[in-house]
Amino acid sequence: MEDICQKFQERVPELVTGTLSAEKAAELQRHISQCPACSKYLQVMQADDKLLGGFAEAMQPRIARLESNVIDALNREQTEKLISSVSIWRKIIKSRITRFAAAAVIIIAVLIGIHQFGGSIDGTSAVYAAAIKALQNVNTVHVYGWTTRIHPKLTDALDEPLDTSKQYQIEIWEWVTENGEYRIYDRQGPITIWDDGDRNYEYNEDKDLLYISKSVAHIVAKDFQHFQSVTTRLNQLKDKGIKVTDLGTRVIGNRRTKGLRAERDNKREDIWLDSQTSLMLENNGYIFEEGQWRQRRHGVLTYNQNIPADIHAYVPPDTENVRYSWDIAPRFEKWHLHLRKIAAYYQQHPLPETMELLPRESDEKMDAYLPGRLPDITNTTRQWVLAIQSSLGNFLRSKIKPSGSLRVPKDLREIKLNHDLITSNKFTQRQRVDFVLDALGLEIVETTENRKVWVAHYDGRLLKPWRTVKAPVPRGDARATMSGMASTFGPTSMKQLFDNFAYWQDLAALNADKTIIVDETGLPSEPPVPPRQESAVSSESPYWGGDESIEIAKKWFKEQFGVTFTEETRPMTVYLVRKRQ
């Protein structure tokens, strides 16, 4: 049996580099599928091939210069024989194996101090590769220290900004189980993350909130770079635009280390590697603020320790406050199944060149998120699904801006839609609307009419912090939303508040005859963007339905923002939906 394995293992390098014939490759794959020893040997060779590939990529500029120099030398001879040699050289140097070999030769030359190709070569790539390779002999990583920056997956725009002057203790354990499965335990201040290979659990102690999403461990485990707490730091050494500086050597504990600093823009990372093993022993992160470098993270690393029993058996705390990521939320299970059915349909039918409106076979209602990703399609074509299960009026009212400018006759407004729109991001929202209407034999035409408007003016006062501004009428225990109560929550700009007012005023009729607001306040109009939310003026947007809301709205805008209104009649654009003519 060992002689058979030896014969097959001699072919593995050719399989990895893609030079083995199809017949022999199939024979080898059949043997590997039944032989654990040869399967392991293939994995090792693939890892080494990937590592050498990284070397080759890093050395491509040197190899290109070598190729150019050789060809220039040959061309200078101007002989028929050497011209033929140039052609042969080009064929050789284009070979993947030759490029890997050339990279390897250059690396060896660096390591033994031979500079046959002239000049000097930056050793950062070799240091990075050695540090990554050292991790292949590691089963566990333990990181402890502190950070001033915590980045939970689940955040709320209403959360108060993190206190970056405080140090939050960190403890991270990453390991590979006896079955080869990857595990992550990551505690940073009040946030604890546990990944069991199936689900990723993030528990926020301050909020007693558990957020559940898909595991990232099974994705990482496909790569030889298992240990994220280490590789994310090391990967900075090879990122484009990074300035790498040699920090010399220092002793950490009883180990001599060598240091590298990776710096870009206002961030830098100091990495200290064991001089003998090349394993990272310490990393320190800094950010440049207010004219000086401030340390924001300190991490100490140890390896191949026994996992503490409480970490190994960790179970997230029980809580009634549980949330799910969109891709595993129970309420979206029907939607996932529906998307798989659409994907199966397109296995038998061509995808649309632009968009396509597919009628549904069933009227069953289902919760849907956007974009609806089609398995094996969205990642390659960027086409996704927009679910449309509503009346035509409800579909259109939030898609035509500004709110209050859309007019839809009652008979058209009540058309029932039970469809899926296959679309992509290259189309605008208006283009999607026009496509749906065209499929229904309808169109939008623009007209100009004299409309009653409120012209908004701002008195220039200092605005309150947006998180402190609430809707004028507290909700309390009320089940129904009444005028002035919050309808949406989150950072909201003044323009969005004005648009929401027109939206609620015109909600029932879609006649484009209610009050709309013309913004002449001069306040920022763009939507708030995290993390700073600079254009936000309020944390809640009120419900303004009915005539009884008008006076409440005027009072609220004046008291909270110093915004008042004057009534005028102005020519305004109206978007009329009608049968296509």
Of 150-154, 352-356, 493-497, where does mean pLDDT reach its minimum?
Answer: 150-154
Is the pTM higher than 0.75? The answer reads no
- Structure token digits, residue 288: 């440049």
Looking at every residue in the chain, the average pLDDT score rounds to 84
pLDDT computed for residue 24 by the predictor: 74
Cα–Cα distance, 36 to 8 (Å, whole number)? 13
| pLDDT above 90 for 224 | no
Average pLDDT over residues 323-328: 88
Does residue 79 register a pLDDT over 80? no
pLDDT at 28 over 90: no
3-state class of 278 per DSSP?
coil
pLDDT band for position 121 (cuts 50, 70, 90): very low
In terms of Cα–Cα distance, which of 232, 343, 204 is closest to 297?
Answer: 232
Rounded to an integer, the average pLDDT of 254-274 is: 95
CB 51 within 8 A of CB 126: no
- What CA–CA distance (Å, rounded) separates 277 from 261? 19
Would you tell me the crossing angle of helices 2-9 and 36-77 to the nearest 10 degrees? 30
**pLDDT value of residue 101:** 56
**pLDDT of 5-14, one tens digit each?**
777 777 777 7
Residue 256: pLDDT over 70 = yes
% of the chain with per-residue pLDDT over 90: 60
Structure tokens at 165: 């002057």
pLDDT score of 40 more than 80: no
User: What pLDDT is recorded for position 81?
Assistant: 40
User: Could you read off the pLDDT of 276-323 as tens digits, one per residue?
Assistant: 999 999 999 999 999 999 999 999 999 999 999 999 999 999 999 999
Domain locations along the chain: 2-121, 135-312, 330-440, 449-579
Classified as helix, coil or strand, 203 is strand
**pLDDT tens digits, residue range 426-458?**
999 999 999 999 999 999 999 999 999 999 999
b or e along 309-336 (b: 16 or more beta carbons within 10 Å of the residue's beta carbon)? eeeeebebeeeeeeebbeeebeebeebb
Mean pLDDT of 513-537: 91
Q: What is the pLDDT of residues 100-119, one digit of tens each?
A: 555 555 455 444 443 333 33
* Residue 199 phi, psi dihedral angles, 5° rounding: -130, 150
May I ask the CATH class of domain 135-312? Answer: mainly beta
Residue 69 confidence (pLDDT): 52
pLDDT for position 19: 66
> What is the model's pLDDT at position 80?
40
Average pLDDT, stretch 389-414?
93
| Residues 402 and 417: beta-carbon distance below 8 Å | no
| Strand order across the beta sheet in which 383-391 lies | 356-359, 416-424, 383-391, 372-373
pLDDT value for 545: 92
Q: Is the pLDDT confidence value at 565 over 80?
A: yes
